[in-house]
Amino acid sequence: TLVSTGNVEPDETWDDIDQVDPAEASLLNKLLRRTVVENDRVHVEVIQSDPTSPLFSVKTFEELRLKTELLKGVYSMGFNRPSKIQETALPLLLAHPPGNLVAQSQSGTGKTAAFSLAMLSIVDPSNKWTQCLCIAPTYELALQIGQVIEHMGQFCPDVKVAYAIRGNRVERGVKLQEQIVIGTPGTLLDWCTKYKVIDLKKISMFVLDEADVMIDTQGFRDQSIRIQRALRKDCQMLLFSATFEDSLWDFAERVIPDANVIRLKREEQTLDNIKQFHVLCNNKEEKLEALYNLYGTLTIAQAIIFCRTRATASWLSAILKQEGHQVALLSGDLTVEQRAAVIERFRNGKEKVLVTTNVCSRGIDVEQVSIVVNFDLPVDMEGNADHDTYLHRIGRSGRFGKRGFAVNMVEGDRDTRILHQIQEHFHVPYKLQSLPGPSTCR
């Protein structure tokens, strides 16, 4: 189908333009992550519900006085010491009486591990009923959390986990024996209210994970609130999120009473150490030519080339392959597992160049990338410069204090306008320098 409204070019359809799906992006991150994200350029901000109570922070897991089986479980995961957010979150989560918590930090900083540990330490394995509930935005994310709990709890054989996700059936009125239940809001609500397999009055810990992704999904917010309303007042309530916008804060205030708040704040990302260039072209073919001129430079380290549509991305990667270059292609028509495999190969240096669409614009760290090419400039639905995406795309090239390069391909008047918007938005000192055009480089 050809769609000619809005910002879709005559030969494009909306289907062909990959949008970032936050739940998918989050899952991809989890599949790719092997170690905790540690960064010196962060600081922890804590707001206590009771400012007069002392604030504890731990540097070791021993200080938490966990059950031996649990400590063994933590070490079996290869954790040596608490991550930045865990240092403050864990003592709060394990305190007597327990505190409610709203915690925000970027993905990969150890939030899931923190509440998994808290759940495992609060359950009474001899009680065969559900004591902890955890809500996640998707089926896959629920399973990921469960895997962490099962791994960490491997020496606590009497603790069992059930999944309230689509497809899993329960018998009406027959109470679950699993102490921990993880699920998506709709199914979980059904299990509690319609099938009555969980007694919400017996829940002592309630966790809302990936709350930012959750409130983006129609219905999830209300379903979560309905579950939360039926809990006991002294049930410990926790909310985790990677981002923190006003809408999330409103939601958090509704579902987590008297919350302690912990936020891991990153320094603003700047483009100071990234040199930005642009090349003026008349059409796709000239862009390709300009790319060939750059190619030797791209492959000194590793490069990512961003295209607007899946069609352009696959066209470009096919041509580059024909020319004998080793390139990887990452776009939205791959499953999340396939994407993870492509990124993994690229990370391991199997290919030097990755051609992609917006699916890869944020959240994925590949340390070695030193050049980013915007084969198409990032635009929003209205056809204006998408500054956020620009920052995410090119910001990755200058990580860890290294120098990065970005090359913008500018095609025609529309792109020139977008380029000016970008220049204006990031104003000085992010000066864009012009590279010779394709014809002069021949």
Of these, 1, 4, 35, 348, which contacts ligand ADP (CB under 6 A)? 35
109 is an interface residue for ligand ADP by CB under 6 A: yes
Min CB(133)–ligand ADP separation in Å: 17
Candidates 5-13, 105-113, 253-261, 323-331: pick the segment binding ligand ADP (CB under 6 A). 105-113
Question: How far are the Cα atoms of 63, 64, 122, 236, 403 from residue 95, in angstroms, in the given order?
Answer: 12, 9, 10, 11, 45
In the complex with ligand ADP, the residue whose CB is nearer, 113 or 406, is 113
How big is the CA angle at 241 (ends 112 and 75), to the nearest 5 degrees? 15
CA atoms within 13 A on the CB side of 315: 13
Min CB(79)–ligand ADP separation in Å: 4
Query: Which residues have a Cβ under 8 Å from the Cβ of 188 and sit 6 or more positions away?
Result: 133, 135, 164, 181, 198, 223, 227
36 is an interface residue for ligand ADP by CB under 6 A: yes
Min CB(107)–ligand ADP separation in Å: 4
27 is an interface residue for ligand ADP by CB under 6 A: no
Min CB(212)–ligand ADP separation in Å: 12
Of these, 3, 33, 76, 127, which contacts ligand ADP (CB under 6 A)? 33
Query: Which residues have a Cβ under 8 Å from the Cβ of 297 and sit 6 or more positions away?
Result: 371
CA atoms within 13 A on the CB side of 239: 28
In the complex with ligand ADP, the residue whose CB is nearer, 83 or 236, is 83
Size of the site for ligand ADP (CB under 6 A): 16
Of these, 12, 28, 83, 99, which contacts ligand ADP (CB under 6 A)? 83
In the complex with ligand ADP, the residue whose CB is nearer, 33 or 41, is 33
Which structure tokens are listed for 119? 């759940």
Of these, 22, 82, 153, 437, which contacts ligand ADP (CB under 6 A)? 82
98 is an interface residue for ligand ADP by CB under 6 A: no
Which structure tokens are listed for 140? 């896959």
108 is an interface residue for ligand ADP by CB under 6 A: yes
Min CB(68)–ligand ADP separation in Å: 18
Assign residue 363 a region (left: φ > 0; alpha: ψ between -120 and 50; beta: otherwise).
left
86 is an interface residue for ligand ADP by CB under 6 A: yes
Please check whether residue 74 is in contact with residue 291, taking contact to mean a CB–CB distance below 8 angstroms. Answer: no
Which structure tokens are listed for 367? 């340390």
110 is an interface residue for ligand ADP by CB under 6 A: yes
Min CB(216)–ligand ADP separation in Å: 17
Question: How far are the Cα atoms of 128, 150, 324, 402 from residue 145, in angstroms, in the given order?
Answer: 21, 9, 42, 34
Min CB(406)–ligand ADP separation in Å: 27
End-to-end CA distance of the chain: 38
3-state DSSP helix/strand/coil % of the chain, to nearest 5: 40, 20, 45
Amino acid at 344: E
In the complex with ligand ADP, the residue whose CB is nearer, 149 or 159, is 149
260-266 and 42-47 strand pairing = antiparallel
143 is an interface residue for ligand ADP by CB under 6 A: no
In the complex with ligand ADP, the residue whose CB is nearer, 110 or 395, is 110
Of these, 84, 111, 263, 308, which contacts ligand ADP (CB under 6 A)? 111
- Could you list the residues that contact ligand ADP (CB under 6 A)? 33-36, 77, 79, 82-83, 86, 107-113
